[in-house]
Amino acid sequence: MLLEGLREEVLHANREIARRGLAPHTFGNASGIDRTGREPLVVIKPSGVDYDALTAEDLVVTDLSGKIVEGRLRPSSDLDTHTLLYREFPQIGGIVHTHSEFATSWAQAGRAIPCLGTTHADYFHGPVPVTEPLTAEEVAEAYVRNTGAVIVRRFRREDLDPAAVPGVLVAGHAPFAWGKTAAAAVEHADVLEYVARLAWRSVLLNPAVSGIPEYVGEHHYQRKHGPKATYGQGSAA
């Protein structure tokens, strides 16, 4: 069986989607990529398989064009979005797609999530962006691949670093999150849902709220991710 270690990591990430309540039924999916071989290979959840029944053997291995390399089941229907993001964002190693309630609400409203507090700033360097809606032509041509394309277009247009902004809202659809590993992608998806919920409640309590001062947000992000980060125990711990 190919990529046994990555399969276990991706299996755990998919189970975490369900355990953390980030997607009802079988709506979400997680994947990971191995870039160490001659050809990058993606491990992804099969389409429509219940999380509780999922095994490492059920996961599907594909190349970056979406061609199945190993697996007896059909891969996730979101495969082409995952592979496009892996091609365009080479610094990421795992992707999670959820339909979590509050983040999906912001996506359906077509609104970016503003940085209203330090919890947000600890993980996202600025607002969580929202894509533009897909055009009728994009949907007809290749809906899933073009879902990835509108994400990349938003990041290119705003000159956003995927490592600093590890998630996005697809307008009218739902969030995608990513990280260096599939485990990190799940963490970012979970935090994204949390800050979406906080932002919704903050706007409800004070419709005029606009966000924390930029210098406060910058301080919080840099203390966790910057070159002189002080958060955590560091490599010497």
Q: What value does the mean pLDDT take over residues 94-106?
A: 98
Q: Name the residue with higher pLDDT: 108 or 228.
A: 108
Q: Name the residue with higher pLDDT: 122 or 234.
A: 122
Average pLDDT score, the chain: 93
CA distance 174 to 193: 11
Among 114-118, 211-215, 233-237, which range has the highest average pLDDT? 114-118
pLDDT digits (tens, 9 = 90+) for 169-223: 999 999 999 999 999 999 999 999 999 999 999 999 999 998 888 888 788 878 8
Other C-beta atoms closer than 10 Å to the C-beta of 143 total 13
Instruction: State how far the alpha carbon of 232 is from the alpha carbons of 4, 147, 212, 235, in Å.
Output: 30, 35, 23, 9
pLDDT for 42 beyond 90: yes
For residue 122, indicate whether it is catalytic: yes
Which residue has tokens 């050809």? Answer: 39
Q: Which two tokens stand for residue 120?
A: 């947000």
pLDDT at residue number 218: 84
Q: How much of the chain, in percent, has pLDDT values that exceed 70?
A: 96
Cβ-based neighbours of 132, under 8 Å, separated by 6 or more:
150, 153, 154, 171
SS3 215: helix
Domain boundaries, the chain: 4-225
pLDDT at residue number 237: 30
| List 34, 58, 122, 194, catalytic entry | 122
CA distance 224 to 236: 16
pLDDT at residue number 220: 82
pLDDT band for position 232 (cuts 50, 70, 90) = low
Cβ distance 160 to 130 under 8 Å? Answer: no
Q: Name the residue with higher pLDDT: 37 or 106.
A: 106
Region of poorest pLDDT, from 6-10, 49-53, 85-89, 147-151: 49-53
Q: Name the residue with higher pLDDT: 210 or 131.
A: 131
| List 63, 143, 161, 231, catalytic entry | 231
Q: How much of the chain, in percent, has pLDDT values that exceed 90?
A: 84
CATH T-level fold of 4-225: L-fuculose-1-phosphate Aldolase (3.40.225)
pLDDT at residue number 94: 98
Q: What value does the mean pLDDT take over residues 52-56?
A: 93
SS3 19: helix
pLDDT at residue number 236: 38
